[in-house]
Structure formats: C-alpha cells, structure tokens
C-alpha cells in the first residue's frame, strides 16, 4: 500500500502536497476543492485521508473515496475500507492472534509456501500487561503463590531479589489488629513443615514457612516486586512465545511486562498523533484487540477495538471493512462543578449516550465545554465508549491537546510539524468557533453544570446513582425483585448483622458492607486529577484520624509506573498505604477477575447471613460475581469515592447527612471535611505531573527488564510446538485447508446447545478470570498432571484452545432455560442428562450432530473478545438465532464461520412456541446475498424465517471460506509466489 501511495499511477497523486522544505509529503484532501470536505465530521476526514492515501484499486477503490466524501448521503449505506496506521494487542487477546499467525505459518508451509511470508504488514505492538494476579497484598500472602505451567520455577531467579527476614510467629499470637492480618480461622491449619510449600514460596520468603497472615508488613515496592516476580515465573512459557514472536515476525514490537497496562502505554509511548513513514505524513490511527482501545480518541487519534480475528486480517494487510457510520455530535456546554471529577462526567455521559441509542455510531465531541476538559479527562471519557455502545468517541486535536503534548515526549519540532499538518488538512479544532462545527447526523447536548458525583451499579455501568441518593437506591435494590438492579431480600432479612472475628477483634457485616475497595487501571489511572484527589483525600483522612477496617480488601493497581511516580512525588502515596491501598503491581487485576480471596471469616459471614456484600472499584467492569463469587453488589466509582466508601465501610450512607467516620476523640468527620478543592488538586498536579514521567516510561521501554532480556526463546521460522505445553498449543483452525473454496453447506438436524435469554454478554460466553476447580477446563488441566495452584487463569491460557473451549459458556451467571438456574450446565437432549456445556457439545460432535444456539435480545454485548466466537466454533456451533446481536459480536461470529441469524420483527422463540428441544434444519442457498432470509424447519413440522445478518459481500466471502482465518490463509496460498525452501529453519520440526 505504501508503494502505491508514491507511484505515478496513484489516482490521487495530484493531491500530494509538502510541508516546508518539501522533504515531507502528504495527501491533501482539501485540494479536491470539494465543499463537502469541510463539512465532514473530523473523524470521517481521517477515514477519507486513509482511503485516498491507500487507494490501490483493489482493497480501496476510487468509488470508496467518493462514498466517504459523500458521507451525508452514504452514511449507514456504503461499505468502505479503513487502513489504520497500526495494530495494538494486549497479551490476553494478543496471544491467540500470534498463535494463529504461527499456526498459519505451519499451514502454508505444508502447501509448499515459504512460511516466512506470513508476517504482519501493518505495524503491530503487543503489550504484556494482563497476566498480573494479586498473590501478595498488604502485610500478607493473600493466597498460596502459584508458579503454574508444570516445571518447578528456578530458585536462583526467585532469589535474585531477596526480602527482609521475618520473625517467627509466637504460638497463639494474633496480628495485633494490623490491616490484612488474619483471624484464628485463617491460621487454624498451618502447614506442619516448610517442605509442604512450593520451593518458590520458601525462597522468596527467605524464612521458615509461617502462617502467611502473621508476616510483618512489607513495603509498597516489595509487594509490587513480589507480584511481578510471581507473574514472570508463572508466565515464563507465554513470555518465551512472545519473545519468539518479536524475533520471528517482522513488524512486531513486544512491550515486555513491568512497563504498564496496554492503554496507558498506548497513550504515553506508542501514540504519535501523526505518523511519518517513507517521507509521507498522515494521521495516526489504530485498531486493537481490546474494546477500550477507544481511549486513544481522547488524543485526537482515531481508533477502536476489533476482535482478534479482524486484527489478524489488518496485520496481514487487509483494511477494516465498515459501514460508513452515523456521527453523533455531542455538544458540551456549561461549567464543571468544582466537586465533580472526570469519572462523574464519564458516568454522566455514559448514561446520556446510552439512553440516546447511539449503538454502532461514531460520537464526536464539540462545543465550548470541551475546552474545559483536560486531555486525561478526554481519554477517560473515550475509554468508556464501549459502555454506551458507540464505535468511537472522538476528540479532535485543539490547543488544550497541544499544551498536553508539550508535557510528554513530543519535541518542539514534532509539535510544530503535527500542528502545521493538522491545520493544513483541516483536522484541527477551535471549539470556541461555532463556524467550524461540522454537519453531524444528529446533535445531542450535555450540560456539564448538571454533573454531580455519582457511582454506577450495582450490576451494570449504565445504572448511575448520585451519591446523595445512594443510601435510598441501595435500599430499593434490596427490595426489588431479582433483576438488573434488584436482589429481592425480604424485609425481615434486611436487618441481619453477622458478627465475626478478625485479627482478634469482633466486627459485623450487614447488607451493603464494603468488603472490596479497589483503585485499578483502565478508566481513571490515566487521569492524574482523580488519582491525586483520592490521594489528597487519603492524606486528609489520615490527618484527622480516620482508617479503613482491616478486613476490607483494599488494592491499588495503577495502569503504569507513571501513576506511582506522581503519587510518590506529590507525597500522597504513604497515605494511600496507611489506608491499605498499597501498590500491588502494574496491569489488569481486580478488573479482569484476578481478585485475591477474601478472609475466610468474611466469606463465612456473608454466606451465613446471605448478605449482599459490596465491592467498590474505579474500573470499567463490574458484572455480578466478576470480582468475587460472594460479592453480589459492585459499584464503579471515582478513585476518591472508592477511598471514601472504604473508610465508611458501607454503601448505605448519605455523605451529605451522615459522617464518614468518627475519630478516636469522638469527633464526627464528614466527606466535605476531607474532600480536596479543585484548586488544591490542580496545584498538586502541576507540581507532580511533569515531563519526567514520560521520559521515565521511555527509559523503561528501551531498557526492558532483566528477566525479559535474559529470557531464552526458539530461533526458528516455524514455532516448535511442544505437545506437552498447557499454555501454547497448535489450534485446529487451519485443518483441511485447501486452495479450493468449499460450497455453502446447509445445516441439517441440528440440536440447540443452549437456550438463552436477553443480554447475554461476552462475560457469559468467553472464558475470563480464574479457572474453577470443578470446571471442564480444570479436569483437562488435572489430566495434564497440574494441581489447582498451577491452573493460572483463562487469560493466561488463551493460547491453548483445549482450555478455552472447555471454558466457553463456563460462567456461573449463565442463565440457560434448559436447566432453569444459573451455571455452566446444559441439557443433552437425546439422553436428558444435565452436564457441563463442553461435555454436552463433545457428545454431539462425536455423534456428528451440528449445533445452534437460541437467544434473546442483545446477544454478545460487552467487551470485544476473540474467544467469544472461537469457543462456540470449536464446540460445534454452526449458527446463533437471536432477536438481536451486538454488532461487534455479530462480526466475530461471521469471522469464525458461524451464521448470525435474527428472528424477524415481532418474533422470538416464545412467540414461535419453540421449546429448544426440537431439531433444526437451515437451508443455505449457493447464491445467498447480503441480508438474505433463510427458512428454518423444525423436527415438529413447523418452520419460520430468519434474517442472515451478512451485511456485505465481504461478510459472505468470509463465511463461504469458513471464517476469516481460513480466508486469510487461502489468500496467502493463492497470492504467494514464494516457493518453500528446501528445509525450514526450525530444527525441531519435520
């Protein structure tokens, strides 16, 4: 594509312009002299520029350029290509993509094609960040350290950073009320000898094995180091594969662990705003295997999340295909209340846009209110984009953004260059100039003055609650019937208080008691203002004598070391620590379900009283049961409110009327007494958040870490698959690959694997978090002679299809109408047995029976995940029939060769009187076109029509090839002229 951009035959070569001395060229859409260009939303202008620059007559045609230019008439009609500047992967979703590429090398090699031709053509960054688990927390080891992965860890590596020795425990002593210490129950059955513990545990403790809850407190640095050491050793096999990828594949950059979370690194290091390559300058843009890639739009960089399947196609040089979206202009007016944080604004905008019904659209912000938002505020808002189902939330570059860039790693020359370029092509905004406002599909207005502090929950991010109404709202949640908000607790049982012992003291738990308080990455740690507000609140609380009860699990998991840097520089980190919010490491932890176990006494008390215990976190995900099985109510809140609720110990509090706590002298302290002013926060931010934090990140990026630098990996073109590996396994997606295109096949006499209702999320479908000990995945790992402590997580094992397939639909919250209760079970219809979903699917596959899924509305909502489609495909699912689909998930199903079929309007499984136990036959014609209606016949003699949701010819081509994996491999087989060498460079492969 780059070659066509510079060739004389390029159809838009007459648009080539140059900056300054002519050394840097660019395609200038304004030279089209078309008045429609200056009326386009700026996000569409970025798509137009990419189409002009990459117009090669094959993937991108002149017709596509004209359709984009005619956006006002073609929105929601024309299908156009978009070639992003780069691809972003994080390790949980990135490892399957890289495993698939490695498998594709094997597949094309067997057909005589040089495997070295399989490389990402689009620059690809893979950030290793999602594997962090919290093994060490506060003063204790929260759970037995988990080396994982088979072989015993290297004790020499484990001891490279020794820890201070700890005194032996005194018989029968308690922890003296220290935070994180144990109760008698927790210590009732200590190991009788150190030989019972893994060698790594003995080594890092450097002391005889004691009751872990009796250890002395460790520093923030030591806690983080221990978690990082455990992460590196537990995931050594995966890291070796990543390092092989960085060496074997061209155009792949792997960011090693201990640098930061994917979104943070993308913002601080990888973002360019404009790219310069081969003498051409153009807007930076990105697609990533994470729905929160949208965060980058806060910098004026167009980007969104795609599935792993789509990202692989982009990596191999194919553009993203999208229907020209409607663009909703979100006009911000009014002034921000001094007590309102960016999280309050985020949750307010989330609710407003969710109600506006902007699913699948672009949102572009404009209006005078935008200038009041800092760039970190904008990235926070853009990060929550998937929660209101928009594709992107775009903030064009303005003067506020330029001032922010000056604090980062941009040189003055680069700043002048990007400003000059963006202004020439008219992708720069002055929000005060209404005359510059583009024409939008529609405009929605939000008054920032109306924003007041809110939390969101207890089960969904769109259910927003003002903190002034929190106490009453939680009471209503207890009263209401079981549903999106209700818990259906009888009035009699609402007054239950359960006493329990912890650290030698008696405490009580009731409905609404906070047991988890986590300040974590994703939505807010990129924003210094809210983190500093939380730190200053902690400081003021400590100074007046307030504390957090020791049984509450408190954690601080920043998105990157940058956060720790400025919290330390501002002097607030010690106050976080005193309240129990110690830095536990860098990466996604609580937010992705990697939560350390609660104290046993707390769990027993919750179960004894059937209590609705609460978690409060500053993340972006809080589906019921995600943090911990026994914590049913979870609220998203800004970091300062997480700290506030942790101090209060309950969500059932009215901060305006009730004290946050009482000092030892008996003085009541209210939230307003310890809430820092906006001026105080801004002053601290100016003093603490300086350009050195970005230089520090760049230094860590370039230096790497000792473990990564010394890590050995294979040196071969083909990856040497280890059949004994439980982390990395050759997937079966390319079996029976040929150069011929198979004819469409109808589905005959299929059984329904699952009969589901509305709002089935990707959390219900795709494996995430820990691996339950009684699950099908656990049985598989045990058959490989692994113990439960070696299971690791589903995220860490995304490169093993055997584990992930067994974890598909393994959510404890899955509501399957076949069995009438939540859980990862389903009905094997021929035998009438209720078994694990995998076991039922395996029986059907052995009998040669195809499978379908019946579902309700909004099937597949939630985070973008590739295994949400890969898993059902490997279970044998050929089609999903639902009332409606989340668009991204619909595309993922097509990408795996699964048909997304939609009931016709007014129809569903109930109106058609389907029991789900029928057998279903679906006739697929050879000449099927987009949006084709298909007939479904049942074994009971009934029939009904469904809409096949293939929106474009590209969708149909992908489906006809058996999915995007096979289509891409087929393209390589039929386009590559490179012969296979006489022998491969892999010494271990035949």
CATH number of the domain that residue 582 is part of: 3.30.499.10
Mean pLDDT of 430-459: 91
49 belongs to a structural domain: yes
Residues 483 and 564 in one domain: yes
Report the distance separating Cα 503 and Cα 573, nearest Å. 25
Q: In the predicted model, is pLDDT for residue 539 greater than 80? A: yes
Q: In the prediction, which pLDDT does 221 show?
A: 56
Mean pLDDT of 387-403: 91
Q: In the prediction, which pLDDT does 185 show?
A: 32
Q: In the prediction, which pLDDT does 238 show?
A: 86
pLDDT digits (tens, 9 = 90+) for 272-311: 999 999 899 999 999 998 778 899 999 999 999 887 777 8
Q: In the prediction, which pLDDT does 39 show?
A: 97
Percentage of the chain surpassing pLDDT 70?
83
Domain boundary residue among 646, 662, 678? 662
Q: In the predicted model, is pLDDT for residue 730 greater than 90? A: yes
363 belongs to a structural domain: no
Give the other-Cβ count within 10 Å of 736's Cβ.
8
Q: In the predicted model, is pLDDT for residue 338 greater than 60? A: yes
Q: Using CB atoms within 10 A of its CB, is residue 165 exposed (0-12), middle (13-18) or buried (19+)?
A: exposed
Phi and psi torsions of 459, nearest 5°: -130, -20
Mean pLDDT of 715-734: 92
795 belongs to a structural domain: yes
Q: In the predicted model, is pLDDT for residue 160 greater than 50? A: no
105 belongs to a structural domain: no
Reported as a pLDDT band with limits 50, 70 and 90, residue 234 is confident
Q: In the prediction, which pLDDT does 310 show?
A: 79
589 belongs to a structural domain: yes
Residues 802 and 656 in one domain: no
Reported as a pLDDT band with limits 50, 70 and 90, residue 146 is very low
Q: In the prediction, which pLDDT does 859 show?
A: 94
Q: What helix, strand, coil percent values describe the chain, rounded to 5?
A: 35, 20, 45
Q: In the prediction, which pLDDT does 334 show?
A: 94
Reported as a pLDDT band with limits 50, 70 and 90, residue 131 is low
Q: In the prediction, which pLDDT does 534 show?
A: 93
Report the distance separating Cα 270 and Cα 266, nearest Å. 5
Buried b (16+ CB within 10 A) or exposed e, 467-503: beebbebbeebbeeeeeebebebeeeeeeeebebebb
| Least confident stretch, 55-59, 121-125, 695-699, 895-899 | 695-699
Q: In the prediction, which pLDDT does 233 show?
A: 75
Residues 786 and 918 in one domain: no
Q: In the predicted model, is pLDDT for residue 401 greater than 60? A: yes
Q: In the prediction, which pLDDT does 840 show?
A: 96
Question: Which residues on adjacent β-strands are paired with residue 834?
Answer: 827
Q: In the prediction, which pLDDT does 27 show?
A: 97
Report the distance separating Cα 861 and Cα 764, nearest Å. 10
Reported as a pLDDT band with limits 50, 70 and 90, residue 184 is very low
For residues 900 and 924, the answer to whether their CB atoms sit within 8 Å is no
Phi and psi torsions of 5, nearest 5°: -70, -20
- List C-alpha distances in Å: 594 to 23, 485, 555, 557, 629: 50, 24, 12, 11, 12
Q: In the prediction, which pLDDT does 963 show?
A: 86
Residues 915 and 958 in one domain: yes
Q: In the prediction, which pLDDT does 589 show?
A: 54
Q: In the prediction, which pLDDT does 524 show?
A: 46
Q: Which of 515, 503, 642, 518 is nearest to 584 (CA)?
A: 518
Report the distance separating Cα 558 and Cα 328, nearest Å. 32
User: In this predicted model, which residue has the larger pLDDT, 12 or 376?
Assistant: 12
Torsion, Cα 420 422 425 426, to 10 degrees, reads: -110
Mean pLDDT of 45-72: 95
Reported as a pLDDT band with limits 50, 70 and 90, residue 169 is very low
| Least confident stretch, 84-98, 539-553, 867-881 | 84-98
Reported as a pLDDT band with limits 50, 70 and 90, residue 526 is low
- Contacts by residues 928-933 (CB-CB < 8 Å, ≥ 24 positions apart): 928/744, 928/956, 929/956, 930/955, 930/956, 933/904
Domain count, the chain: 4
Residues 609 and 637 in one domain: yes
Q: In the predicted model, is pLDDT for residue 566 greater than 60? A: yes
Q: In the predicted model, is pLDDT for residue 148 greater than 80? A: no
269 belongs to a structural domain: no
Q: In the predicted model, is pLDDT for residue 920 greater than 90? A: yes
Q: In the predicted model, is pLDDT for residue 142 greater than 50? A: no
Residues 866 and 960 in one domain: yes
Q: In the predicted model, is pLDDT for residue 140 greater than 70? A: no
Reported as a pLDDT band with limits 50, 70 and 90, residue 173 is very low
Residues 844 and 937 in one domain: yes
Mean pLDDT of 566-587: 87
Mean pLDDT of 716-724: 93
Reported as a pLDDT band with limits 50, 70 and 90, residue 330 is very high
392 belongs to a structural domain: no
Residues 912 and 835 in one domain: yes
User: In this predicted model, which residue has the larger pLDDT, 441 or 131?
Assistant: 441
Reported as a pLDDT band with limits 50, 70 and 90, residue 261 is confident
| Strand extents, DSSP E, 756-850 | 815-816, 821-822, 825-828, 833-836
Residues 918 and 774 in one domain: no
**947's tokens:** 């809409």
| Least confident stretch, 25-39, 242-256, 492-506, 607-621 | 607-621
Q: Is 438 helix (H, G, I), strand (E, B) or coil?
A: coil
Range of the domain at 526: 454-662
Percentage of the chain surpassing pLDDT 90?
48
**4's tokens:** 């066509």
Transcribe 677-700 into DSSP letters: PHHHHHHHHHHH--THHHHHHHHH
User: In this predicted model, which residue has the larger pLDDT, 132 or 629?
Assistant: 629
Reported as a pLDDT band with limits 50, 70 and 90, residue 707 is confident
Q: In the prediction, which pLDDT does 170 show?
A: 29
Residues 762 and 772 in one domain: no
134 belongs to a structural domain: no
Reported as a pLDDT band with limits 50, 70 and 90, residue 162 is very low
Mean pLDDT of 311-324: 85
Query: Which range scores top for mean pLDDT: 429-443, 626-640, 732-746, 959-973?
Result: 429-443
Q: In the prediction, which pLDDT does 987 show?
A: 31
Reported as a pLDDT band with limits 50, 70 and 90, residue 977 is very low
Residues 777 and 758 in one domain: no
- Please list, in sequence order, all residues whose beta carbon lies within 8 angstroms of the beta carbon of residue 213, skipping any fewer than 6 positions away: 139, 140, 175, 180, 181, 182, 183, 186, 187
Residues 832 and 889 in one domain: yes
Domain boundary residue among 807, 835, 856? 807
- Please list, in sequence order, all residues whose beta carbon lies within 8 angstroms of the beta carbon of residue 631, skipping any fewer than 6 positions away: 515, 516, 598, 606, 613, 614, 615, 625
pLDDT digits (tens, 9 = 90+) for 776-819: 999 999 999 999 988 888 888 889 999 999 999 998 889 999 99
Domain boundary residue among 642, 662, 682? 662
Mean pLDDT of 161-172: 32
Q: In the prediction, which pLDDT does 264 show?
A: 77
Q: What is the mean pLDDT of the chain?
A: 82
Report the distance separating Cα 221 and Cα 389, nearest Å. 38
Report strand pairing: 877-882 vs 280-283: unpaired
User: In this predicted model, which residue has the larger pLDDT, 176 or 338?
Assistant: 338
Mean pLDDT of 335-344: 77
Q: In the predicted model, is pLDDT for residue 703 greater than 90? A: no
């Amino acid at each position: 594509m780059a070659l066509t951009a510079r060739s004389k035959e390029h159809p838009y070569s007459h648009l080539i312009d140059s900056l300054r001395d002519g050394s840097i060229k660019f395609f200038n859409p304004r030279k089209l002299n078309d008045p429609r260009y200056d009326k386009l939303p700026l996000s569409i202008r970025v798509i137009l520029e990419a189409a002009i620059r990459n117009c090669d007559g094959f993937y991108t045609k002149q017709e596509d350029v004209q359709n984009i230019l005619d956006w006002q008439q073609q929105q929601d009609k024309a299908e156009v290509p978009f070639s992003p500047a780069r691809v972003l992967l994080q390790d949980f979703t990135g490892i399957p993509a890289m495993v698939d590429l490695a498998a594709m090398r094997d597949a094309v090699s067997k057909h005589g094609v040089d495997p070295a031709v399989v490389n990402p053509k689009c620059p690809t960054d893979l950030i290793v960040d999602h594997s962090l688990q919290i093994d060490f927390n506060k003063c204790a080891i929260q759970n037995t350290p988990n080396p994982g992965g088979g072989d015993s860890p290297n004790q020499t590596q484990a001891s490279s950073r020794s820890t201070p020795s700890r005194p032996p425990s005194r018989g029968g002593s308690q922890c003296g009320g220290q935070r994180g210490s144990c109760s008698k129950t927790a210590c009732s059955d200590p190991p009788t000898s150190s030989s019972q513990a893994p060698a790594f545990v003995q080594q890092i403790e450097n002391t005889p094995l004691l009751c872990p809850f009796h250890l002395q407190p460790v520093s923030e640095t030591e806690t983080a180091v221990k978690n990082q050491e455990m992460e590196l050793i537990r995931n050594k096999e995966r890291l070796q594969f990543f390092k092989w990828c960085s060496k074997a594949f061209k155009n792949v950059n792997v960011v090693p662990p201990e640098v930061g979370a994917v979104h943070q690194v993308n913002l601080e290091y990888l973002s360019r705003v404009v790219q310069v390559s081969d003498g051409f300058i153009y807007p930076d843009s990105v697609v990533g295997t994470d729905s929160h890639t949208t965060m980058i739009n806060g910098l004026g960089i167009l980007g969104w999340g795609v599935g792993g399947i789509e990202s692989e196609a982009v990596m191999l040089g194919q553009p993203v295909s999208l229907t020209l979206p409607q663009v909703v202009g979100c006009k911000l007016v009014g002034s921000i209340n001094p007590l309102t944080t960016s999280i309050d604004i985020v949750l307010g905008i989330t609710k407003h846009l969710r109600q506006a019904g902007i699913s699948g659209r672009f949102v572009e912000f404009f209006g005078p209110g935008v200038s009041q938002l800092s760039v970190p505020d904008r990235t926070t808002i853009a990060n929550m984009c998937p929660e209101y189902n928009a594709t992107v939330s775009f903030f064009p570059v303005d003067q506020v953004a330029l001032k922010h860039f000056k604090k980062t790693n941009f040189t003055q020359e680069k700043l002048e260059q990007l400003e000059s370029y963006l202004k020439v092509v008219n992708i720069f905004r002055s929000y005060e100039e209404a005359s510059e406002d583009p024409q939008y599909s529609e405009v929605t207005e939000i008054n920032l003055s109306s924003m007041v502090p809110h939390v969101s929950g207890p089960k969904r991010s769109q259910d927003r609650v003002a903190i002034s109404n929190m106490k009453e709202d939680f009471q209503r949640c207890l009263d209401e019937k079981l549903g999106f908000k209700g818990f259906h607790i009888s009035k009699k049982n609402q007054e239950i208080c359960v006493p329990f012992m912890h650290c030698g003291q008696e405490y009580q738990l009731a409905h609404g008691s906070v047991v988890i308080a986590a300040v974590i990455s994703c939505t807010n740690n990129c924003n210094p203002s809210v983190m500093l507000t939380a730190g200053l609140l902690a400081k003021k609380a400590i100074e007046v004598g307030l504390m957090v009860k020791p049984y509450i699990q408190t954690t601080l998991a920043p998105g990157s070391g940058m956060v720790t840097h400025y919290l330390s520089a501002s002097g607030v980190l010690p106050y976080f620590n005193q309240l129990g919010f110690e830095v536990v490491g860098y990466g996604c932890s609580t937010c992705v379900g990697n939560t350390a176990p609660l104290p046993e006494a707390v769990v027993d008390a919750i179960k004894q009283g059937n209590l609705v215990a609460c978690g409060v976190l500053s993340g972006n995900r809080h589906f019921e049961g995600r943090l911990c099985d026994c914590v049913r109510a979870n609220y998203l809140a800004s970091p300062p409110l997480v700290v506030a609720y942790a101090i209060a110990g309950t969500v059932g509090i009215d901060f305006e009327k009730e004290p946050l706590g009482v000092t030892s002298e008996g003085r009541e302290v209210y939230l307003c007494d310890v809430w820092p002013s906006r001026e105080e926060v801004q002053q601290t931010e100016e003093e603490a958040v300086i350009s050195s934090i970005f230089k520090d990140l760049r230094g860590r990026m370039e230096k790497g870490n000792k473990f990564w630098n010394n890590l050995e990996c294979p040196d071969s073109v083909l990856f040497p698959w280890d059949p004994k590996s439980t982390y990395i396994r050759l997937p079966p997606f390319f079996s029976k690959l040929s150069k011929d295109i198979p004819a469409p096949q109808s589905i005959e006499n299929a059984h329904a694997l699952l009969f589901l209702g509305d709002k089935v999320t990707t959390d219900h479908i795709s494996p995430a978090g820990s691996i339950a000990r009684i699950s099908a995945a656990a049985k598989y790992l045990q058959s490989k002679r692994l113990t439960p402590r070696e299971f690791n997580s589903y995220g860490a094992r995304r490169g093993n299809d055997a584990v992930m397939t067994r974890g598909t639909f393994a959510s404890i919250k899955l509501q399957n109408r076949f069995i009438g209760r939540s859980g990862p079970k389903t009905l094997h219809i021929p035998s009438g047995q209720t078994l694990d979903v995998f076991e039922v699917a395996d029986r059907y596959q052995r009998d040669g029976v195809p499978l379908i899924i019946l579902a309700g509305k909004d099937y597949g909502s939630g985070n973008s995940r590739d295994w949400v489609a890969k898993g059902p495909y490997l279970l044998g699912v050929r089609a999903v029939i639902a009332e409606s689909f989340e668009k991204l998930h619909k595309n993922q199903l097509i990408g795996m060769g699964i048909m997304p079929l939609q009931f016709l309007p007014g129809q569903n499984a109930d109106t058609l009187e389907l029991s789900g136990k029928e057998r279903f036959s679906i006739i697929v014609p050879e000449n099927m076109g987009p949006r084709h209606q298909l007939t479904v016949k049942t074994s009971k003699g009934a029939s009904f029509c469904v809409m096949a949701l293939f929106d474009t010819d590209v969708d149909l081509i992908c489906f006809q090839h058996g999915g995007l994996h096979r289509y891409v491999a087929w393209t390589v087989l039929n386009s590559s002229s490179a012969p296979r060498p006489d022998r491969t460079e892999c010494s271990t492969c035949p």
